[in-house]
Amino acid sequence: MDRKEFLKSGFSKTAAAPTQTARSRRMLSTGLAEYKGSFGRAELQHLLRRALFGVKKTELDTLSSLTLSQVVDFLITPPVSAPAPPVNNYNASYADPNVSLGSTWVNAPYTDGTLNFHRTMSFKSWWIGQMLDQQPNISEKMVLFWHNHFATETNAVQDARLSYLSNALLRTHALGNFKTLTREVTKDTGMLIYLNGYLNSKAAPDENYARELQELFTLGKGPDSKYTEDDVKAAARVLTGWRINRAGNPPPAYFDVTRHDTTNKQFSSFFGNKVITGRNTSTAGDDELNDLLDMIFGQTEVAKYICRRLYKFFVYYELTPEVETNVIAPLADIFRNNNYNIRPVLSALLKSEHFFDPLNRACYIKSPMDHLVGFSREWNLVYPGASNLDLQYSMWNTLRGYGQILGQDLGDPPNVAGWPAYYQTPQFYELWINSDSYPKRNQFQDLLITVGYKIRTTTLIGDVYAMANQFSNPSKADNLIDDSVAFLLALPIGTNTRTMLKSILLPGGIPDFNWTDEWNNFKNNPTNTTYKTIIYAKLMSFYKAIMNLAEYQLA
């Protein structure tokens, strides 16, 4: 389904599979050559919508003076420091015997399942907070990308400390070296639990991680990934011996050579009949793991597979023969030539003529996180500060809960493959929208700009006047419509839609100066209840109408 069909569907039912006609229209000839066209406000917004969770007006204003190359370089520069870890915000609900209010629990003892539940909610809420507070930097998007790629589930790991450490690992390497990240994930305690790596021993080899390492994490299941079932079994033997010290706070992973298969491991012709020599020393686990990854990363398909995943996440879900030839193949060359470092790949992709091809704009259906966090950032919602931890985390958790309702429970993808919208052919992220989720998206945004969401004495609400007032000349109805649509929608609107929006500001076809008078009356007399009621009522209806358009679901 192309974007035109998507918009025509009205979301009355679950999105249908793309038609052959729609596929044929996407035969793009553009490639990785650097984009040399106009880089104005529309192009900047396209870039930021894909690289960030929503775009703030202040970010647009700040970055609009830079060139494309400068903006992309800015976006892919790693943060200077890691964020502070989540803290105990749950004292009012459950007393933590080892952690005081406001202190972190990530290195505290595990007590029981109930306490772990509160810590897990603290972790998930904290993660939402990182998304909300993101700088103009692609790191948060990459953390979600890697979380979906190296998927683990808090419900399966059952230790919030380990789920946090898995997340911290992804943050550390989000814009770094993919091979290094893969090595560290293999030994990550959360992953060892999730895919039974800690049970993998010479007496009973467990193939779970060895299979996913090849099938999901590095080589994929494409026609050129010809590893065999025996390769999975051999890799499982390489990975025997990793254990977890449950007494640690948090529990660390360690290697136990007595549980390791010290014999040689034979691989298939796909891997050049490689034999990984068995070791029996204390470093055997790391040594054989390095040999295994060197062997896997020696295959050209690794670079192609990861570049395809990045392409689907940041550009579009369909990989046509033209895209394979003009984008994926040269992008994979860049990946390999840069020793599997991520930043050169992102730089080439985000600066490319293909990324800015008109057919690749506004064709991306927002994920729940794009929708929810993006709305919060677009509208400059003011979440409670750290001086009120309970309320701050509660508000963050409310957003997390909405994400769960809409199908993206942060920290708990449905399985090891991640969320189906990122991989399920042929629909991919069309799966985010159906007859249940679409009305709930609208209900969320309608609530937040009308009555707001209230917890105790604090209300989270988007100020419709502040939204309008940030534009250049909101006292002119035509200017306000143009600026608001350009900011909130990734597609231009038609004449009929524009007429409908203007009729909200100027009902019954009254002259344009009526809106100008109403705006100026309130601006000059902000305490006048009558003037405020008129302006806020119209602006609420106006912005609800914009965001209830199907186009608002596209990025």
Average pLDDT of span 171-176: 98
For residue 6, pLDDT beyond 50: no
User: For residue 26, what pLDDT is reported?
Assistant: 54
User: For residue 316, what pLDDT is reported?
Assistant: 97
C-alpha–C-alpha distance, residues 311 and 167, integer Å:
22
Nearest CA to 260 among 231, 238, 233?
Answer: 238
For residue 7, pLDDT beyond 50: no
Residue 338 phi, psi (nearest 5): -105, 25
Q: Name residues whose C-beta falls within 8 Å of residue 382's C-beta, 6 or more positions apart in sequence.
A: 460
Q: Which long-range contacts (CB under 8 A, 24 or more apart) does 286-293 make?
A: 286/255, 288/238, 288/239, 289/183, 289/186, 289/187, 289/238, 289/239, 290/183, 291/238, 292/235, 292/238, 292/239, 293/179, 293/182, 293/183, 293/186
Amino acid occupying residue 460: L
C-alpha–C-alpha distance, residues 538 and 555, integer Å:
26
C-alpha–C-alpha distance, residues 324 and 301, integer Å:
12
Residue 119 phi, psi (nearest 5): -70, -40
Q: What is the pLDDT of residues 115-148, one digit of tens each?
A: 999 999 999 999 999 999 999 999 999 999 999 9
User: For residue 27, what pLDDT is reported?
Assistant: 59
Residue pair 490/45 in contact by the 8 Å Cβ criterion: yes
Amino acid occupying residue 347: S
Helix, strand, or coil (residue 184)? helix
Q: Name residues whose C-beta falls within 8 Å of residue 363's C-beta, 6 or more positions apart in sequence.
A: 2, 3, 316, 554
Q: Which residue has the higher pLDDT, 179 or 22?
A: 179
Tokens 């994930």 found at:
185
Q: What is the pLDDT of residues 325-366, one digit of tens each?
A: 999 999 999 999 999 999 999 999 999 999 999 999 999 999
- The crossing angle, in degrees rounded to 10, of helices 300-314 and 139-149 is 120
Query: What is the CB neighbour count within 10 angstroms for residue 232?
Result: 19
Domain boundaries, the chain: 464-553
Q: For residue 93, what pLDDT band results from cuts at 50, 70 and 90?
A: confident
Q: For residue 15, what pLDDT band results from cuts at 50, 70 and 90?
A: very low
Q: What is the pLDDT of residues 384-414, one digit of tens each?
A: 999 999 999 999 999 999 999 999 999 999 9
